[in-house]
Structure 1
Amino acid sequence: MDVENRAVAAMVADKNQQKKGDDGVEARSIRFGENDLLSGEIKDEVLAAKMTLINNAIDEIGFTAYHWKLFCLNGFGYAVDSLLLLLQSIIATQAKLEFQPSFSTGLTIAVYVGMLVGAIFWGFSADIIGRRFAFNVSLFISSVFTIVAGASPNWVVLGLFICLAAFGAGGNLVLDTAVFLEYLPSKEQWLLTLMAAWWGLGQLIAGLFAWAYLPRYSCADAASCTYKNNEGWRYVMYTSGVFVLILSVLRVTVIRLHETPKFLVAEGKDEQVVRVLQDIAEKNNRPCSLTLEQFQALGPTARVSKNRISLAEVGFHLRGLFVTRKTGLSTVLVWFSWLLIGLAYPLYNVFLPTYLASRGADFGTSSAYITWRNYAINNVCSIFGPVLAGFMCRSKWFWGRRGTMIIGAMVTMIFFFCYTQVRTESQNVGFTCAISFCLNIYYGTLYAYTPEVFPSAHRGTGNGVAIGLNRIMGIISAIVGKVANTNTPVPIYICAALYIVMGIVAAGLPFEPYGRRSG
């Protein structure tokens, strides 16, 4: 390691070997960490060299019990995000019967507004004040407002509390992948895709709560609907809120999360970087030869912010996502992918109870029990899409992350078109299960791919904007779903067309993380 680090220091000191980069700015001819995904997109050579040292140290430590805890505790964030997203669609029908609102898709808009603000707030704050704070408090915020939402006296108050609960959840998907990735050894980065299985687990839990309460504790029509005979949706909210509260407590008791080394090094806190990694190695009886002297030999990074909470700081992190033409193209295509999935996903999943009920009625199976049973079965299938995607990303036979997304998008598109031709109850269940499975191959991979291709110093910002764009399209989906009428196949055709475009965009992504280390 000493020889390697002296060589890295010498490379930093070498001012003579330069070439023109693909963005027209001067870059050193010698690249740091040739196996690092963003090794060719260097602007701050000292920071790049220090990132290489951190990656080497993480690979030297290897995968430990600490990483397993992170896999589960960060996975809780995935589960809560999907659970809260579907809760509003699950309870909407019964809440509408009780409150009789003038705007029926208001809860969908409320949850996406909350997640939009949460994604932007927690995303930018992750690069400015750090990852640890949001990790520790976001689930607690979600749990409190989910419980309170169950006691809502009217439609507007219900929408407000769902929005506030979603604000807390909005920080999870921004940070869960970033935090886990920034501790992962390079050989285990495929686990980032597998972690999306927690998303399906959250959907399943939401479906099981609905199946348990709604058939037994729901009114039949608006004329007879009162607080007393329509408590099922409230039970769903109370139970879900308590479940999220338990998860939030586990997050701060099972593990004391350190701030991630890659955030610390971007802030110039080299001593803390060494301390964090050596502490993990010591507690797990693993080697770690990283020392502070190795960082000091490289000198200070080009920029350490003195005024972190400012608009200038936000602008700095946004510009960092477009530092070269290639990284700029990658950022635009990733954000565009999130825009597309942001419309397609809620048009299917959020309105899935409506699809199941309307098509079930066509086949003479309009029972609430059957509808919510089918919904739970469907959500079981969604768990296994990311599991398959994780193993596909790990294999070169599926062309890495990009190939996995292309396959997932194209197969999902085929099943969407098939679903418009459903003629029996068995087909209704079978095709919705197939869609949920295949859809999550694409979605789970996109979730993992996104933080991998953003520079670490700007990863929270890139994730936050991506998921923020996704939430904007979720709001639009509520309008499209209302205008297009979810009792017809039109929204399904829209989803199918969007997945065709997603597959094309995936093919154009410039970076392939397979076999490479994140920056």
Structure 2
Amino acid sequence: MSTSPKVEATEVSKVEEKGQRDSFKEADEKAPYIDVTSEDPEHVEGAALSQSYLKKVYIINRVMNEHVGFSRWHWGLMLLSGYGWLVDNLWLQGVAIILPQVNREFAPQHVEWMTFALYIGLILGAAGWGVAADIIGRRPAFNITLFLAGVFGIAAGGARNEVALGGLLAALGVGLGGNLPVDGMLFLEFIPGSKQYLLTLLSVFWSIGQLIASLVAWVFIVNYTCSGDNSDIATSGVCISSENQGWRYTFYTLGAVTLAGWFLRFVVFQLPESPKYLLSQGRDAEAVQVVKEIARRSGKELGDDILSVALLRSAAGEAHEMSDADEIVPEKRGLAGLLAVPKQLFAAAKNFSPSHLKPDLKLVKPLFATPKLAYNTSIIFVLWSFIGLAYPLFNAFLPLYLESRSVGTGNASVNETYSQYAYISICGVPGSLIAAWMVEMPRSGRRGAMALGTLLTGIFVIVSTQSPNKGAFLTFLCLEALFQNIMYGVLYAYTPESFPSPVRGTGDGIASSLNRIFGLMSPIIRIYGASESGPGVNAPLFTSGAMFIFCGLLMLTLRVESQGRTAL
């Protein structure tokens, strides 16, 4: 009895797929960056995922590691993802930098409320864009956040009173709040596991953002500001806008830098959607197409013998047949994509209902799927919360602290304040490079590097309050900036690595939201918890240092070490 050609082709296909899976299995014994199953003790977050997804993402990770690798395209993605981190700190520091000049021009009762307004927007942005990234995809959030931040940042530079400025800063925060949870997560999902340590290196852009903000402010504020003693408005009088344009020029410049990043992302680079997100949505054909497109952009070709929908579904024990759900709709990019945005927004608004605002616990429950995963998730959330308060208590008001210790008057005082701020910013840059080196050390890993950086950050914040002179104060602040960037560099890498891809945006969004919610308390503590002089003047700094030290000790109890494995 003869065998039909159709049956023979099917048998050949099965043999090829089995051979491909065998090659993956053989490679597993040699490669350190592997994914196994939900029972793998090193992949605690695997318990939150279906076996079907685990098997598919295992193959995707293997193809990314063995066949695609890390190319110039990935370096470009790293630069654009890092640009989001740069912009985030660019504006956080930019708002801190302008507080002394806003105080002189608008003379509000407490200028710290401007920081409060920014954090209101950051809370909404972090929660909204993090969850949205799991619902509508990584790519839309990646493109929209910088646009919103740039537009409202420039508008804030034109504010004519403190109420308008506060409102525009809140709107700025809505766009800005999505940068950290979305950008790091997206970069992680496109790179091979052997290069995941580069996620830590993204924090160097955080340092560069602070440096750019300080240099821009140093140029504009020093040269376009009112003369007189900035610490005594009652004596020197309130600045009029025409004589105090420096902080406005600073905001215009930072806004232009932000919009330049959006243009590079949306028009020039044209990033595809994350393949892991597509897998989590059951869009296997699109995930395969994206991986093959990345390979082409990296100068390689992937045949169906290496990656195909049939191979993925065979490994997951699913039917191979293509259906209408597998139809790939070409994405509009470049100018066509830009022109399509208003239509997409209108359609989204038309289909909106109040029920959409109801929290979807389906995206939260997987983060607590097992006791071990629940503990690790809870500790991550606590760390982001307490660091969210400790960081702005010190950094958001650093120009005010520097100004209070200035020995000069008038423009000399302004120059001294912003020059010192620039020096401190430069000191933080090496911290990110050290962090990227430490996370790959066998005896350190993510947890060790993160804990060490956090402990030393807290110690130097407290020590700086006891500085006998200006030189010692500046030295301790430089050391604090160095270790602070080690802490943040590892924390921002460890967090998305610890969450599974289908709910990674939700986990990152919750963590970032808690960070901003607790940061919201910092201006209140600064206003009502510190005295103008005497023992209470350093109360916010003592609080900040103590919380950093507590977080450093808490990091040692984390149950997951993400070194040497590929994120699911």
Give yes or no for TM over 0.5: yes
Match of 1:424 among 464, 469, 475: 469
Match of 1:185 among 188, 192, 195: 192
Q: Any idea what SS the aligned residue of 1:360 has?
A: coil
- Corresponding residue of 1:129: 136
- The letter of the residue matching 1:484 is G
CA gap of 1:503–1:121, structure 2 versus 1, over 3 A, is same
Q: Any idea what the Cα deviations from partners look like across 1:128-184, whole Å, max 9, x if unmatched? A: 110000111110111111111111111000111111111111111111111000011
**1:414 CA drift (Å):** 2.2
**1:276 CA drift (Å):** 0.5
Q: Could you tell me how far apart the structure 1 residues matched to 2:531 and 2:62 are?
A: 52
Conserved? CA contact 2:42–2:560, under 8 Å = no
Which is worse superposed, 413-422 or 464-473? 413-422
Conserved? CA contact 2:81–2:184, under 8 Å = yes
Q: Could you tell me how far apart the structure 2 residues matched to 1:474 and 1:313 are?
A: 23
- Corresponding residue of 1:199: 206
CA gap of 1:271–1:203, structure 2 versus 1, over 3 A, is same
CA gap of 1:455–1:133, structure 2 versus 1, over 3 A, is same
CA gap of 1:178–1:117, structure 2 versus 1, over 3 A, is same
**1:31 CA drift (Å):** 3.0
Q: Any idea what SS the aligned residue of 1:397 has?
A: coil
Match of 1:57 among 37, 56, 63: 63
**1:455 CA drift (Å):** 0.9
**1:384 CA drift (Å):** 1.7
Instruction: Output aligned runs, 1:99-110, within 5 Å.
Output: 99-110=106-117
Instruction: Output aligned runs, 1:2-81, within 5 Å.
Output: 2-3=17-18, 31=37, 37-38=43-44, 41=47, 43-60=49-66, 61-81=68-88
CA gap of 1:202–1:417, structure 2 versus 1, over 3 A, is same
Q: Could you tell me how far apart the structure 1 residues matched to 2:141 and 2:531 are?
A: 36
Q: Any idea what SS the aligned residue of 1:396 has?
A: coil
User: What percent of counterpart residues are identical?
Assistant: 37
Conserved? CA contact 1:139–1:245, under 8 Å = yes
CA gap of 1:312–1:210, structure 2 versus 1, over 3 A, is closer
**1:311 CA drift (Å):** 6.0
Q: Could you tell me how far apart the structure 2 residues matched to 1:364 and 1:225 are?
A: 12
* TM-score normalised over the length of structure 1: 0.90
Match of 1:401 among 422, 446, 462: 446
CA gap of 1:365–1:506, structure 2 versus 1, over 3 A, is farther
Conserved? CA contact 2:392–2:522, under 8 Å = yes
CA gap of 1:478–1:31, structure 2 versus 1, over 3 A, is same
Instruction: Output aligned runs, 1:441-480, within 5 Å.
Output: 441-480=486-525
Length, aligned pairs only: 495
Which is worse superposed, 210-219 or 191-200? 210-219
Q: Does 1:355 align with 2:401?
A: yes
Q: Could you tell me how far apart the structure 1 residues matched to 2:17 and 2:471 are?
A: 64
Q: Could you tell me how far apart the structure 2 residues matched to 1:417 and 1:365 are?
A: 30
Match of 2:298 among 284, 297, 304: 284
Q: Any idea what SS the aligned residue of 1:504 has?
A: helix
- Corresponding residue of 2:277: 263
- The letter of the residue matching 1:31 is T
Q: Any idea what SS the aligned residue of 1:331 has?
A: helix
Q: Any idea what SS the aligned residue of 1:108 has?
A: helix
Conserved? CA contact 2:106–2:238, under 8 Å = no
Say what the alpha-carbon RMSD is for the aligned residues: 2.6
Determine which structure has more spread, i.e. the larger CA radius of gyration: 2
**1:105 CA drift (Å):** 1.3
Q: Any idea what SS the aligned residue of 1:367 has?
A: helix
Q: Could you tell me how far apart the structure 1 residues matched to 2:77 and 2:288 are?
A: 20
- Corresponding residue of 2:147: 140
Match of 2:380 among 312, 326, 334: 334
- Corresponding residue of 1:495: 544
* TM-score normalised over the length of structure 2: 0.83
Q: Could you tell me how far apart the structure 1 residues matched to 2:45 and 2:260 are?
A: 41
Q: Could you tell me how far apart the structure 1 residues matched to 2:554 and 2:41 are?
A: 25
Q: Could you tell me how far apart the structure 1 residues matched to 2:366 and 2:518 are?
A: 25
CA gap of 1:477–1:39, structure 2 versus 1, over 3 A, is closer
Conserved? CA contact 2:38–2:49, under 8 Å = no
Q: Could you tell me how far apart the structure 2 residues matched to 1:157 and 1:504 are?
A: 42
**1:314 CA drift (Å):** 2.2
Match of 1:274 among 283, 288, 293: 288
CA gap of 1:43–1:69, structure 2 versus 1, over 3 A, is closer
Q: Any idea what the Cα deviations from partners look like across 1:170-213, whole Å, max 9, x if unmatched? A: 11111111100001111110000111110011101110111111
- Corresponding residue of 1:20: none
Instruction: Output aligned runs, 1:110-129, within 5 Å.
Output: 110-129=117-136
Q: Could you tell me how far apart the structure 1 residues matched to 2:467 and 2:410 are?
A: 14
Match of 2:455 among 391, 410, 415: 410
- The letter of the residue matching 1:423 is P
CA gap of 1:486–1:110, structure 2 versus 1, over 3 A, is farther
Conserved? CA contact 1:363–1:425, under 8 Å = no
Q: Does 1:517 align with 2:566?
A: yes
Q: Could you tell me how far apart the structure 1 residues matched to 2:89 and 2:260 are?
A: 17
Q: Any idea what SS the aligned residue of 1:477 has?
A: helix
Q: Could you tell me how far apart the structure 1 residues matched to 2:474 and 2:283 are?
A: 54
Q: Any idea what the Cα deviations from partners look like across 1:416-463, whole Å, max 9, x if unmatched? A: 232122112211211111101101111111011100001110000000
Conserved? CA contact 1:36–1:518, under 8 Å = no
Please, which runs of 5 or more residues in structure 2 have no aligned partner? Answer: 1-15, 26-35, 320-324, 326-350
Please, which runs of 5 or more residues in structure 1 have no aligned partner? Answer: 11-29
- Corresponding residue of 1:18: none
CA gap of 1:319–1:59, structure 2 versus 1, over 3 A, is same
- Corresponding residue of 1:344: 390
Match of 1:367 among 381, 390, 413: 413
- Corresponding residue of 2:158: 151
